[in-house]
Structure 1
């Protein structure tokens, strides 16, 4: 609908370029902001309008081994033609001690069956962490994290939902 107001435009799935008269920049900004707000409202945060995730595989906490992390690393580099896999983990009891940082981010440690811990980080989650003791299903990206000379397993929380009972 706003295309008639642009002097020129073009792009591809990963980028766009436009030319607009300087006098129309404010109107374009208002139109763009309203379109983004409509899109966010339609997507919702949870419930029937929530986005669907493509889960590569459902894992058990015991599957989160160094060997699996090595295999995932061998699939990189990730990008448009090779998306990073998202894995599901069902029925995790949310541990106490989630730490908020940097606005709407949080991190916590997930206890694994071998009594080791997996660091989990969540970026830009305004809904915050699930309540401690809640059973949840996680959607995560798994990777090695190299920090301060140490290499350790890390999960990036993509999304979560209350746990579903799977027979």
Structure 2
């Protein structure tokens, strides 16, 4: 079965979000781009990123978000968030950042709280057993709905930050 990448990629791009805390300028002050490639492994075991229009179940998509500060001032409090689209599962360990940042995942972590919560890694969730007792267990990758990076330092004028993450096609 072949899956057309534009469908998965449009979903991810449409859901990518940006927030800035403590900065007076609008989000337009941060020029953002989004790209994706399919991870292919060569015969000698080396990874290469390929531009393709389709993927097969089990293949890995490498998403890259770049954000350039187009102002003349440093921007503090930047948070970059991106979804894990339906039809794919986050591949933990495939996330990177070019700037110092805290990486978090979003999922249902506590059945006693409504909605999704954010957690750093390793993420744990509470699960009720048959008698209703809550037990903590590692969060399965398949349960992760979104990812985000909270920049630890301001993004200087003219500087570009790169964030990547990978998903496996279900």
TM-score of the two chains, using structure 1 as the length reference: 0.24
Query: Which structure has the larger Rg?
Result: 1
- By relative contact order (CA 8 Å, sep 6+), the higher-ranking structure is 2
TM-score of the two chains, using structure 2 as the length reference: 0.24
